[in-house]
Amino acid sequence: MPTMTMIPKRVVRGAVLVGLAMLLSAFAVMAPLGSGASHTAGIAHISAAGGRVSSLAAVCGQVPVPLASTASYAVLASSTVTSTGATTLTGNLGLSPGTSVTGFPPGTITGTKNVTTPGAAGAEANLTIAYNNASSRSNCPVSVAGNIGGQTLTPGLYRSTSSLAISSGDLTLSGGGNPDGVFIFQVASALTTTSGRTVILTDGAQAANVFWQIGSSATLGTTSVMKGTVMAHDSISMLTGSVLNGRAMAETGEVSLAGTTIVVPTNTSTPTYPVTFTESGLPAATSWSMSYGGVWSSSSTTTIVFRVVSGTYAYTTDVTGYIAAPAFGTITVGGAAASQAITFVAGAAGSYPVTFTESGLASGTSWSVTFNAVPASSTTATIVFTAVASGTYTYTSGVVSNYTASPSSGSVVVNGTAANQAIMFTSSTGGSGGGAAGTPVWVWPVIAIVVVGAIVAGAAIALSRRKKASSK
């Protein structure tokens, strides 16, 4: 049999050290790939994940949804209102244009029952306005999906592109010490709370500042406890013993109750202050728009006024054919009225391409941009719009699962020439798994091959040298 030559330990140690050195070099090269640093200025975009507190910068603050005459209603429906058992409503009950309300008594109403009255019709009209206001919010959206039970969320705008549930645990809404913090949930499909689940308000959060905009229907499970104004496009079902500190309002369908309790919330918020935007440069009676704190308002006069509590809110404006200065920014309200002048200058006539270019997404990933209220999507690196005239145009980047866009929104100025805007996507999950945050999975087999190869090569070299030395 051939003699097996043993490699001395010192040779093996040397080979291993060579391999480790190469491994450290590989890490140094890959460090930029794994960097999770955010390039977003002034805005923190954090996807809500199990048990983690979502933090938003002040500029992402929301203002309350304007409820107008709906604010006094515990229940408001379009088709029918039904109740079984000892339902208790503290607030008004309204129905329009439907005529059927059943279950009162034995249910009780501490308020007024308005059925097919002008007041009920007006409240339903205001519900549509409030629903549309909530659904159109776009200021710093945070993506949520599936089950949000067990999480703690801070004031802000939370967006689900499908259904949403509170099922595996209770949901905590933390005001962070700010009683005026506003929570808005945009749910594209259904909202469901399972039996016994509770929405908990802490650190100053108030039910009066929580709004749920539901694309289809809401179901509140047996003995569950919900907080906030629930505005469902279709219907709302509150099962036996469920409790709502808020409002149950169905835009097109019914509200059904089963021994449930609803109390219209009170608001102990601090005073609000006017923020006045004044334009110059537009022809008389020209319609113009401003967004402040995520709420759009339009006017054909020279001023647009918002009322907000103290805080810092972002604003933006957009008038086709005109260039605004400043087109966007922030205004801080500190216990007094505030104002901002906007100057418009007519842009050069023409038709100009506006190109958005993404970086950071895997090849073939679908992404989207809404430019001047027109959405478009692509699986390539660019999306191109055509501006029909010079002006200041607003845009918003669509949500891409597990990625953060920077910038996620802003303005593009078109002034007689083509315009470009780059959008960088950063992974918000630390990569696709298998190793250090942000490191692609394919890197690790490469590292393993390099290290093993280095060890084998080192051992072979050492063995060769040993044989040569012994043959002399």
Same fold, 273-346 and 349-427: yes
What residue has token string 């093996």? 12
Residues near 257 by beta carbon (within 8 Å), at least 6 away in sequence: 75, 81, 82, 83, 84, 87, 103, 107, 238, 248
Q: The domain 349-427 is classified under which CATH number: 3.40.630.180, 3.40.50.970, 2.30.130.60, 2.60.40.10?
A: 2.60.40.10
pLDDT at 21: 45
Which segments within 347-438 are labelled E, that is strand?
Answer: 349-359, 367-371, 374-378, 382-389, 391-397, 403-406, 409-414, 419-427
The b/e string for 404-443 (b: 16+ C-beta within 10 A; e otherwise) is: bbbbbbbbbebeeeebebebbbbbbeebeeebeebbbeeb
> DSSP class of residue 207?
G
Q: What is the pLDDT of residue 284?
A: 92
Structure token digits, residue 61: 């603050």
Q: DSSP of 68-115, one letter per residue?
A: GGGGGEEEEESSEEEEESS-EEESEEEE-S--EEE-TTTSEEES-EEE
Structural contact between residues 183 and 156, judged by C-beta atoms closer than 8 angstroms = yes
Q: What gap in Å lies between CA 448 and CA 454, rounded to an integer?
A: 10
Cα–Cα separations (whole angstroms), residue 460 to 1, 11, 12, 110, 466: 21, 10, 10, 89, 10
pLDDT score of 236: 98
- Which one-letter amino acid corresponds to residue 366? S
* ∠ Cα 198 201 202 (to 5°): 135
pLDDT at 470: 59
- How far apart (Å, rounded) are the C-alpha atoms in residues 379 and 368? 9
Across-strand partners of 254?
none
Superfamily per CATH, domain 273-346 = Carboxypeptidase-like, regulatory domain (2.60.40.1120)
pTM of the model: 0.58
Res 461: pLDDT:
60
338 exposed, middle or buried (CB, 10 Å; 0-12, 13-18, 19+)?
A: middle
Structure tokens at 162: 């499908």
> What pLDDT shows up at residue 49?
31
Contact criterion met (CB below 8 Å) for 113 and 92:
yes
Contact criterion met (CB below 8 Å) for 61 and 157: no
Phi, psi of 68 (to 5 degrees): 50, -130
> How many of the other CB atoms lie within 10 Å of CB of 77?
30
DSSP of 171-199:
EEEE-TT-TT--EEEEESS-EEE-TT-BE
Return the pLDDT at 135.
Answer: 94
Per-residue pLDDT of the chain (472 residues; tens, 9 = 90+): 444 444 455 544 554 444 444 444 444 333 333 333 322 222 222 233 333 233 333 356 788 999 999 999 999 999 999 999 999 999 999 999 999 999 999 999 999 999 999 999 999 999 999 999 999 998 889 999 999 999 999 999 999 999 999 999 999 999 887 888 899 999 999 999 999 999 999 988 999 999 999 999 999 999 999 999 999 999 999 999 999 999 999 999 999 999 999 999 987 666 788 999 999 999 999 999 998 887 788 899 999 998 887 788 889 987 888 899 999 899 998 889 999 999 999 888 888 899 999 999 999 999 999 998 888 999 999 999 998 888 888 898 998 988 989 998 888 888 888 999 999 999 876 544 333 334 444 444 545 555 556 565 565 565 666 655 555 5
pLDDT, residue 177, reads: 79
**Total length of the chain:** 472
List of residues 6+ apart from 388 with CB closer than 8 A: 320, 321, 351
Q: Give residue limits of the domains in the chain.
A: 9-35+438-471, 53-263, 273-346, 349-427
